[in-house]
């Protein structure tokens, strides 16, 4: 059975520096939530606190209606019913696929029949039945990742944690594996917290995304809401290749103009907003060219229908209904 997760006021210091700052996070039962942020934003520290691999300095963590960390008690990691998938899969090299799945179950006081039933279910779900007698060294990276996920599913966790699970795979395999992985967890209705620094990956897997900055949540919303309405310039700069152009460039005051690359249009003399910059980089994207322009002291990325030369000056406009002003 999946569970809700509540984190309240989580605070953690490392080396005297605040890594988590009175952070609150709610995850609904059966929901997939990604923690998205740059290195040092606190996302992995938060994941380790939830898992029980690290104790916060303050705050509470409640899972399935039970406090697993608080002022009066701390539930050990092995008793939290949490499954965790790491970057390196952490498989036992001397055990077969089936052995890796069954080993962790042997400490749960389950009958041999129940262990066998859980292992068979997980093998079938992850399409690993033909590979059940192979060792990890005989598997591809994607197959090893499926074993790591199947091992968690066999343990029937109330919560699954993923820590950059696809970072060791090449780009082509990463997308296929991401689809397979989410099909597995959604089929089982599992509650998931997923750590990544890749915004496209977070957008693809999540019901909601927690964008982290310096140990706090800069914004916690659905992928579409983050894309359409970033809360501030930091979030806008982290999502979708957006650019945040200071409004001071227009001598119109505070705030930032969010520029989504796909919103740029050839300059229209009837437009009330025409932007001009010098092209500093260009890259062919297939359907268009991705240009980087310098406007004042800011670099702005736009999509353009034709090739242009680096060093050239270019003017473009933004449709009025695609303009968004945010604060810092």
Spatial distance between the Cα atoms of 201 and 216, rounded to a whole number of angstroms: 21
Answer whether 147's CB lies under 8 Å from 96's CB.
no
Could you report the per-residue pLDDT of 279-323, keeping only the tens digit for each?
999 999 888 999 999 999 999 999 999 999 999 999 999 988 888
Task: Please state which of the ranges 22-36, 78-92, 165-179, 289-303 shows the lowest mean pLDDT.
Answer: 165-179
Q: What angle do CA 72, 107, 47 make, to 5 degrees?
A: 50
Q: How would you list the strands of the sheet with 66-69, edge to edge?
A: 17-27, 5-14, 58-63, 66-69
pLDDT of residue 226: 93
**Whole-angstrom Cα Rg for the chain:** 23
Q: How high is the pLDDT of residue 41?
A: 94
Q: Bridge partners of 219?
A: 211
Q: How many CB atoms are closer than 10 A to CB 306? A: 7
Q: What local confidence, expressed as pLDDT, does residue 248 receive?
A: 65
Domains, the chain, with CATH or none: 5-233 (3.40.50.300), 242-326 (2.40.50.140)
> How much is the pLDDT for 160?
93
Tell me: pLDDT of 66 over 60: yes
Of the listed ranges 121-125, 208-212, 247-251, the least confidently predicted one is 247-251
């Amino acid at each position: 059975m999946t569970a809700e997760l509540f984190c309240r006021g989580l605070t953690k210091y490392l080396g005297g520096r605040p890594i988590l700052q009175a952070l609150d996070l709610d995850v609904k039962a059966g929901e997939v939530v990604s923690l998205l942020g740059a290195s040092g934003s606190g996302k992995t520290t938060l994941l380790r606190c939830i898992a029980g691999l690290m104790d916060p300095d303050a705050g509470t963590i409640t899972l399935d209606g039970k406090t697993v960390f608080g002022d009066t008690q701390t539930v050990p990691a092995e008793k939290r019913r949490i499954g965790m998938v790491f970057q390196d899969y952490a498989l036992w090299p001397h055990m077969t696929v089936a052995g890796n799945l069954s080993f962790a179950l042997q400490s749960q006081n389950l009958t041999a029949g129940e262990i066998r039933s859980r292992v068979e279910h997980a093998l079938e779900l992850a399409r690993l039945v033909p590979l059940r007698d192979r060792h990890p060294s005989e598997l591809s990276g994607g197959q090893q990742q499926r074993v790591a996920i199947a091992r968690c599913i066999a343990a029937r966790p109330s919560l699954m944690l993923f820590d950059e699970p696809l970072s060791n795979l090449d780009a082509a395999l990463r997308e296929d594996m991401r689809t397979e992985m989410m099909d597995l967890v959604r089929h089982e209705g599992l509650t998931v917290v997923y750590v990544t620094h890749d915004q496209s990956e977070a957008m693809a897997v999540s019901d909601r995304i927690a964008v982290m900055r310096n140990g706090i949540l800069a914004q916690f919303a659905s992928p579409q809401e983050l894309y359409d309405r970033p809360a501030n310039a930091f979030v806008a700069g982290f999502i979708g290749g957006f650019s945040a152009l200071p409004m001071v460039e227009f001598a119109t005051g505070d705030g930032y103009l969010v520029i989504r690359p796909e919103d740029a249009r050839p300059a229209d003399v009837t437009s009330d907003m025409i932007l001009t910059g010098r092209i500093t980089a260009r890259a062919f994207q297939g359907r268009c060219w991705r240009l980087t322009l310098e406007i004042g002291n800011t670099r702005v990325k736009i999509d353009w229908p034709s090739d242009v030369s680096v060093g050239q000056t270019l003017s473009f406009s933004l449709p009025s209904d695609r303009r968004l002003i945010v604060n810092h």
